[in-house]
Amino acid sequence: MTALHHLTLIELAAALATGETSARAATETALARIAALDGRDGLNAFVTVTADQARAAAAEADTRRARGEPRGPLDGIPLTLKDLVDTAGVRTTAGSRVFADRVPSHDATVARRLRAAGAVVVGKTNLLEFAYGYPHPDFGETVNPWNRSRTAGGSSGGSAAAVAAGMAHGALGSDTGGSIRSPAAYCGITGLKPSYGLVITAGVVPLSWSLDHVGPVARTAADCALLLAAIGGHDPADPASASTAEAGPAMTAVAELARSVLAGGSAPASLRGVRVGAVPRFFAMAVTPGLAAVVDEAVRSLAVLGAEVVEVDLPLDILPLVVSAISQIYGVEAAVVHRQWLTEQPDDYGPTMRAGLTEALTVPAVDYVAAQRDRLRVPAAFADLYTRVDLLAWPAQPLVAPPLGTTTQVIHHDGEDTPTIDIEIGATGPANLTGEPSISLPCDFATGLPVGLLLQAPRFADAPLLRAAIAYQTATGFPPLPPLA
């Protein structure tokens, strides 16, 4: 059997069901991995480890199982939460000194839903400050499990590193411009940004209310399906929640898929009838040598599975518009969120974030409105592509994990100096503007580091997207586990 800490979420659920292991054993293994690998001198993936609460939750899960009581689908499985997801009685820092001592009185909706499904929360994971794009000096940057000189990515790097290193079997992250999918690509695991409004953000510290998404990070797409089934669905108390008419059918399809994989089923072995559009403009963005060829080979694997793969492209000005619109929108919306704290506690912010928020406060309203107007062109451009294909494919990121400490640096590519964060947003940001589901799948390596294949689908086609991703992973397997004992 694979080492307990490297079982997928689905594999662990099966082992728990057969009695091959226990929630206590799985939890103690996760906590031991955290003790051995984490800390400021290690991967720096965790802000807070909730060992006592996790042990109590694991004991309750084992008791339920021993008594034959009804159990949730995640019963006894160690998971972690990005440290901007509120947890009752446990501090939620959002990676900033501003919130260093903040202890919420209530769980976020997603945390409550995970606990209701029986999950064991082993801790809160590190992130870039308020998910804005830069690490706070007090918290530091999360290290990539594949190479200790590289970043795990942002802003959900702690969640991705924790899963990749076997410190949890799944995690939640947030994604405003790619912050689930980029770390997943860099750490060689799977990350899903669901359709906008499908997963409730109530109780999650906001960055940009019109772009924020919450979603799962796990080893596999099947694991992500199970997590999405647990956390998704309409909530009338959240104005950002998709309507019952929209979310209901989408979540019914996700729940059916989750039940199938949990019961040992799988996605169809064939993708026959599925039309996949490869977008050459994204492949041309590749910075790391060999990366485009690796993803191109992954797309050919979809064709081997029976998918019809064709090239489709976007108007020339759409990708620059993506970066400019997202940067303008999230900067201004974050400034609104932080206006009071920035006035009262300016020195508690990291210097880079403080400077960014201060500048965003001076953006004229007409510029913000213009950015919101421009974003409407992005869904229209993608809707045109979906008249010809069912899914879109391109590199999840055009580069492998950057060196630590390079979040504010530029990359010289194609004769231009471009900020690293703009290159990253250019690849993943379209789905934040369109609200469409988008998933990063590990597909191979370039220059010795993981590469991600990105698949994207129309809004609320989360289940078809996950089925295709599961079929791909079932047929091709995954990269080897990180070089950690």
- The count of other CB atoms within 10 Å of the CB of residue 105 is 7
Which amino acid, one-letter code, is at 219? R
Looking at 22, 82, 159, 195, which residue is catalytic? 82
User: Could you give the count of Cα atoms lying within 13 Å of 91 in the half-sphere of its Cβ?
Assistant: 15
3-state DSSP assignment of residue 364: coil
- Which residues lie below 8 Å from residue 52, measured CB to CB, with a gap of 6+? none
- Please enumerate, as own/partner, the contacts of 102-106 that have beta carbons within 8 Å and a separation of 24 or more: 104/203, 106/203
- Which residues lie below 8 Å from residue 22, measured CB to CB, with a gap of 6+? 16, 58, 62, 76
Global pTM value: 0.97
Distance CA 127, CA 84 (A): 8
Please report the pLDDT score of residue 267 as a whole number: 61
Please report the pLDDT score of residue 478 as a whole number: 78
Looking at 22, 96, 124, 155, which residue is catalytic? 155
Distance CA 205, CA 296 (A): 37
Contact by Cβ (8 Å): 160, 439: no
3-state DSSP assignment of residue 195: coil
Cis peptide before 155 (omega within 30 of 0): yes
> In a 10 Å sphere around its CB, with 0-12 CB exposed, 13-18 middle and 19+ buried, how is residue 248 labelled?
middle
Distance CA 229, CA 248 (A): 12
DSSP state of 214: E
Closest CA to 22 of 70, 65, 54: 65
CA angle (324, 294, 400) in 5-degree steps? 50
Looking at 22, 156, 179, 440, which residue is catalytic? 179
Beta partners for residue 143, in sequence order:
151
Mean pLDDT by 10 residues, the chain (485 residues): 89 95 98 97 98 98 96 95 98 98 98 97 98 95 97 97 98 98 98 98 96 98 98 90 94 96 77 97 96 98 97 95 96 97 97 96 96 96 98 98 87 82 96 98 97 98 97 89 81
Distance CA 452, CA 295 (A): 7
Please report the pLDDT score of residue 25 as a whole number: 98
All structural domains of the chain: 4-262 (3.90.1300.10)
Please report the pLDDT score of residue 82 as a whole number: 98
Please report the pLDDT score of residue 395 as a whole number: 98
Whether 440 is catalytic: no
Whether 105 is catalytic: no
For residue 181, report the phi and psi dihedrals to the nearest 5 degrees: -75, -35
Angle between helices 244-262 and 462-476 (to 10 degrees): 20
Query: 339-373 burial, b if ≥16 CB within 10 A, otherwise e?
Result: eebbeeeeebbbebbbebbeebbeeeeeebeebee
Which amino acid, one-letter code, is at 134? Y
Whether 159 is catalytic: no
Beta partners for residue 192, in sequence order:
439
Distance CA 190, CA 173 (A): 12
Distance CA 176, CA 12 (A): 30
CA 301 to chain centre: 24
